[in-house]
Structure 1
């Protein structure tokens, strides 16, 4: 239903609620959170999202009341809004710091109760990781929705990816380390003895709410590690040297994606986009726009739907030429 929603913030919230998780459950500690307990709640949420799309003013005011610069904080505000106003689980408390002797031990993202009476502790993360493992590159034949299709010759067997092979674009974050922190530190917070002091005595059932996108080098198709949900959102990445050849094979309208637009696939009404100054570019112009940037840059390819809308067909990162080597070294640390 994402492409039927017009307002970007509502589409981002819908994506946060309806998109596939990045991970499978990691028992016994890492069970998955779900915003719905029943199909009736899911259907009611879809109706609620459509109504919110028709009148998003209150949500927009909430988001603009304070300046948001971090993607994770933006996602927290969206999910908190749903828990306060939506038709399913209800918010008890958010962003609860846990301290001992004046030292902060951590912060619980959300305490919620379901309509069935379950008491849950949710830890939310929205991550974008690039696969940096070894892999043979094949030729590219087609760019389609959130994936790159490779030619069928020659057939290549790819090594299975490790969770450590998925690294943050700025090489300051790694998926295996993030998951270990969630499982070993964040989720156990609500079970600690000190948690009684925050005013919300347990027991609370901890669950992880992990959304995002994983990006694979153009032409590579490694088997995913067992921890990943096979339905996870996918994109691609390409080096700056390879960008021209890659883009030439896919005549597209391109756009740089600022960090707060990394959630839902984007949809723009052409006239409104032009009036608001949203800049689209061809591949050559886009390459010039990022020539002075030092790190990876997320971009998206758009196609006209025939009725005046530009719809995102694919997203990916353009990375500096030395990034793959540095990323592989970071994955091996």
Structure 2
């Protein structure tokens, strides 16, 4: 299992991109889908952005270097800022879809028509597509960017989507996909949706990007029946002492804040830490918060302005997290 392939591929493809927003958008457009669109389990309800065209690649370059276009991106991202990674990714993709003139609506809420007016759901994106144009309708995309850690040592459990849990243990890949498939993609069927839809929904699909993280040292190929793209972005997870096993003495490390989780990191050299410094920072973090921390292992790129390029990434988990995660997985599997 190569945990460095996607970083190397990304850095090679986008050597000129330095703006964090542009790099994050480039990752959303260029990275492999998390789910396999042709897997039978998804019943043809998975959307994909497909291969990046030369025109879009050129547009991303312009987004970095054209002051007017770059300013427009930053102004868009500054509107109603959120610390939620999902919202951040949605805003990036919405900017792209609007620039490509295929966005009909974004974050379109559906409310109960009764006195309470509670929100029943939200269309992440309504887009134009060849499917839609032939039927004078739109396609509903439910968009998600997810990060899940495999918490299972037993082979029979590893093959279940609920064994992939979120770092805060409040979500799992299985639970998320059941919600998308059974609820969110059916939103257009609700009578209240007709009051807000600009055109009939002719198809509803899930567009899912993200990274899956495996226990450090575990070599695993997921069964095709799970519907996970074989080329998905991968990382590791481990406790702090286990980091020693991947340290070569020359690596630098950086903590990645949540809104920096999408694209492989590209950072000023001054932000790098030694393994000893990293472990000290982790000890401080875990003393205040028992949530896993995203860490990038980096190499130094020499130059006029030395910088760090991410080689691999992983979650470092606090003590007792693995036991809590195992309990969460067992509970989820019993409920399914």
Unaligned runs of 5+ in 2: 1-12, 332-336
TM-score, normalised by the number of residues in structure 2:
0.82
| SS in structure 2 of the partner of residue 287 of structure 1 | helix
Counterpart pick for 1:113 among 118, 128, 133: 128
Q: CA deviation at 1:68?
A: 2.0
Q: CA deviation at 1:248?
A: 3.8
Q: CA deviation at 1:224?
A: 1.3
Deviations 1:185-242 (A, max 9, x none): 1111123332211142313311111001000111112331422111110000111232
Alignment of 1:191-210 (within 5 A): 191-210=189-208
Report how many residues are paired. 299
Distance 1:30 1:181 in 2: 16
The 3 A distance-change label for structure 1 pair 76 and 120 is same
Confirm or deny that 1:8 pairs with 2:27.
no
Confirm or deny that 1:127 pairs with 2:119.
no
Confirm or deny that 1:32 pairs with 2:57.
no
Distance 1:332 1:58 in 2: 47
Distance 1:191 1:17 in 2: 29
TM-score, normalised by the number of residues in structure 1:
0.83
| SS in structure 1 of the partner of residue 231 of structure 2 | coil
In the alignment, which residue of structure 2 is the partner of 1:141? Answer: none
Confirm or deny that 1:103 pairs with 2:105.
no
Does the 8 Å CA contact 1:191/1:204 hold for their aligned counterparts?
no
| SS in structure 2 of the partner of residue 238 of structure 1 | strand
Distance 2:324 2:44 in 1: 30
Does the 8 Å CA contact 1:133/1:161 hold for their aligned counterparts?
no
Unaligned runs of 5+ in 1: 136-156
Q: CA deviation at 1:269?
A: 4.8
The 3 A distance-change label for structure 1 pair 319 and 28 is closer
In the alignment, which residue of structure 2 is the partner of 1:232? Answer: 232
The alignment yields a C-alpha RMSD, in angstroms, of 2.2
| SS in structure 2 of the partner of residue 235 of structure 1 | strand
Counterpart pick for 1:53 among 59, 64, 70: 64
Structure in which a larger fraction of residues adopt helix: 2
